[in-house]
Structure 1
Amino acid sequence: MKTLYIVRHAKSSWEYDGIEDIDRPLKKRGINDAHLMSKILQEKIDRPDVFVSSCANRALHTGIIFSYAFKYPLANLKINKSLYSFSDGYLVKTIRALDDGFDSAMIFSHNHGINDFVNVFGSESILNVPTCGVVGIKFKTDHWKNIKKGKTFLIDFPKDYK
């Protein structure tokens, strides 16, 4: 059995002129939502075996906040450049490439692929995963490369706690 938690990065800022998209920071609201959601999840679930983040500032910052809440060593937080890609299939490829020694994983990524992924691989239809939203899916397999349709068991959004 493999357990996956997909986290859409927290709310980011568009207020800085001339900043590259990859470098956009979290807004204050995003920082607050990341702290809120990470603390709530830390009480609900066991710490995932591995944390993997997009290299974008907003996703990485979200991943760092979650890492602190789960007491996951920052030195072990994996940064995956392909999670920043906006081409089809990047999220699936990243997940299928996870080491089978990890039975659970938390992935910090972006809207483009998250909505598609949770609807194709999960058992519940989700119209939109909002910023800092978390979806948990369990897969009946021992190998990440073999994931197919799984069972959605967790849908948590910041608005549910405000």
Structure 2
Amino acid sequence: MKTLTLLRHAKAGWGERGSPDFDRPLNEKGRRAARAMGRAMRDAALGFDLVVASPAARVTETLEGAGEGYGTAFDPVWDRRAYLAAPEVLLEIVQATDDAVDTLLIVGHNPGLELLTLHLTSEEDGGELRAAVLEKYPTGTLAEIHLPVDRWRDAAEGKGTLRRFLRPRDLDAALGPDGD
């Protein structure tokens, strides 16, 4: 059994006019959400053998904030391929993971994370959680997928079961949508 957790970066600001998308920082709400998600991961006793992350500023800041909430810093492998990655690229990252890793966390961007979640899980096993993903995969949200495989390369369409879909607003209504 392998466990894949996908964390979307928290809410970002737009940065300075003309600055590249890659350099967009978190806004204050995003920083609060990242810390809250870290606390939730700690409280749920989620642990990760490997963390792979996009090197974009909003992802690095999300991991810093989540680490503060978790109580220990995450030590990710920065992978440029994860920046704004299509679900096919994210699946390649998953399938190339060393089989000694049982719990993998990928931190990145939408729509890739949402589409990968939907690709790996089936409608029959998803229930309300999968319906929530179909509705929206907001910033700062975490999806946990259990894969009944021994080798990451066997992760494939519909094989996984969505076990957790946690949005910042589930932890604190003030972290929900407000039109910003």
Query: Which deviates more from structure 2 when the two are superposed, residues 90-99 or residues 60-69?
Result: 60-69
Alignment RMSD:
1.6
Deviation of residue 137 (structure 1)?
Answer: 0.2
Gaps of 5+ in 1: none
Deviation of residue 71 (structure 1)?
Answer: 5.2
Alignment deviations for residues 55-88 of structure 1 (CA, whole Å, 9 cap, x no partner): 11101211233344445555x3210000014445
Verify the 8 A CA contact 2:38 2:69 in the aligned structure 1.
Answer: yes
Q: Pairwise mapping of residues 19-30 of structure 1 onto structure 2 (< 5 A)? A: 19-30=19-30
**Equivalent position of 1:133 in the other structure:** 141
Distance 1:16 1:132 in 2: 22
Instruction: Give the TM-score, by structure 2 length.
Output: 0.83
**Equivalent position of 2:109 in the other structure:** 110
Alignment deviations for residues 88-118 of structure 1 (CA, whole Å, 9 cap, x no partner): 5111111111111110011101012011111
User: CA distance change for structure 1 residues 85 and 130 in 2, over 3 Å: closer, same or farther?
Assistant: closer
User: CA distance change for structure 1 residues 15 and 68 in 2, over 3 Å: closer, same or farther?
Assistant: closer
Deviation of residue 51 (structure 1)?
Answer: 1.1
Verify the 8 A CA contact 1:4 1:136 in the aligned structure 2.
Answer: yes
**Equivalent position of 1:59 in the other structure:** 59
Query: Which deviates more from structure 2 when the two are superposed, residues 140-149 or residues 22-31?
Result: 140-149
Q: Which consecutive segments of 4 or more residues in structure 1 shift more than 3 A? A: 67-74, 85-88
Alignment deviations for residues 92-147 of structure 1 (CA, whole Å, 9 cap, x no partner): 11111111111001110101201111111124232221000000001011111110
Q: Indicate the percent of aligned positions where both proteins have the same amino acid.
A: 28
Q: Secondary structure at the match of 2:111?
A: helix
Distance 2:104 2:16 in 1: 33
**Equivalent position of 1:161 in the other structure:** 171
Deviation of residue 6 (structure 1)?
Answer: 0.3
Query: Which deviates more from structure 2 when the two are superposed, residues 30-39 or residues 81-90?
Result: 81-90
Give the total of aligned pairs. 161
Gaps of 5+ in 2: 173-180
